[in-house]
Structure 1
Amino acid sequence: MRRHLFALSLVCSLPFAAQAASPSYDFGQPGEAAKADRTVEIKLGDMFFEPESLEVKAGETVRFVVKNEGSLLHEFNLGRAAMHAEHQKHMQQMMDSGAMSSTGMSHDMQGMDHSKMGHAGMNHGDMMKMHHDGNSVLVEPGKTAELTWTFGAATELEFACNMPGHYQSGMVGKMKVAP
């Protein structure tokens, strides 16, 4: 079970085209759960987040416990609107390749059509490394996942679900990073 969750977490953190395996963001970086300043619970429902907005402080490490109480596969992704727009293209590619459906992840990762994702010729391990960027988790219905983030400079962000059509249906929240 633990190995399955690890593999799922690697797949769930999808790439942005120009990013390396360990991208850096001006709004922060992955943090350690054991060093979190606080824990925030996030409820995912079908086309909504609860809470709808959050405020954190620059330099704060937050452990997000993300529970999907809906019937669809959902994502919790930290970023800016332009990042989400780009990320949605990759999520659509994952759907088209068979890596995931509207309700869950493919548990047969070797059987995916990587050419539909622009990954033709890549071995499975390299593709998994490319998908791990730390600012995103996918959560299947009835499941819980965690994401820990240390926030950088004061800014405005969004947390969003980039599953095809979900952002457009209002599954996006505002996040203020205060000084």
Structure 2
Amino acid sequence: MKKALAVLAIALSPTLVLAAGTHSGGHGHDETKPAAGHGHSDNHAHGHEDGMAVGKPAEANPTRTIKVVMKEDYEGDNLYIFDQKELTFVAGETVRLHIVNEGEEVHEFVMDTMEANAEHKELMAKFPEMEHDDPNAVRLEPGQEGEILWTFVNAGTFEFACLLPGHYEAGMHGPLIVN
């Protein structure tokens, strides 16, 4: 009986890891491609019919490109940093966010409401190996580059952050303002 249970546990373990490690809508998409065009049923719409509160994947060509570098800073006040302290956009603006990981660790760039990022961060703490495929985010290995093509639809104050365990707490977040 013990042998049968062990075989059953081994057979089911990949399914259990997958079920615990992913959720619909996330940020493990191919970082070499634009984030636009990834249709998901879980778009965290937060009451906005046209996408997420922070906006939606671009349907038009971007009017400008903003480079955001992610890295460690062993000398500064914060261990993990974005080179941009704040991102500012105009409602209706479509941009290309060119994200670069110049660090020695995996980092991610996620933009959403502060509340949604807080919820997502808690989930990441419980399931740190979880992989996602959200159009509003990108996860990059050291040396990788990615981009998000995005239209900021709604005015407001949002947040960009790295939600990997410990990274947010070590300084990897900032305000994203849409005027």
**What TM-score comes out, normalization by structure 2 length?**
0.66
Structure 2 residue runs of 5 or longer lacking an equivalent are: 1-26, 46-50, 73-79
Distance 1:54 1:132 in 2: 22
Structure 1 residue runs of 5 or longer lacking an equivalent are: 1-6, 14-18, 101-130
For 1:165, the aligned partner's letter is G
Shift of 1:89: 2.6
Decide whether the 8 Å contact of 1:21 with 1:132 is kept in 2. Answer: no
Decide whether the 8 Å contact of 1:70 with 1:141 is kept in 2. Answer: yes
Counterpart position of 2:66: 40
What is the aligned-residue identity percentage?
36
Structure with the greater relative contact order (CA < 8 A, sep ≥ 6): 1 or 2? 1
Secondary structure at 1:133 match in 2:
coil
Q: What does residue range 88-107 of structure 1 map to in structure 2 within 5 Å?
A: 88-95=121-128, 98=129
Distance 2:143 2:134 in 1: 24
| Higher fraction of helix | 1
Counterpart position of 1:54: 87
Distance 1:135 1:154 in 2: 16
Higher mean alpha-carbon deviation, 163-172 vs 84-93, is at 84-93
Matched, 1:137 2:158: no
For 1:44, the aligned partner's letter is M
Q: Residue 56 of structure 2: which of 10, 22, 29 is its match?
A: 29
**What TM-score comes out, normalization by structure 1 length?**
0.66
Secondary structure at 1:176 match in 2:
strand
Distance 2:84 2:92 in 1: 21
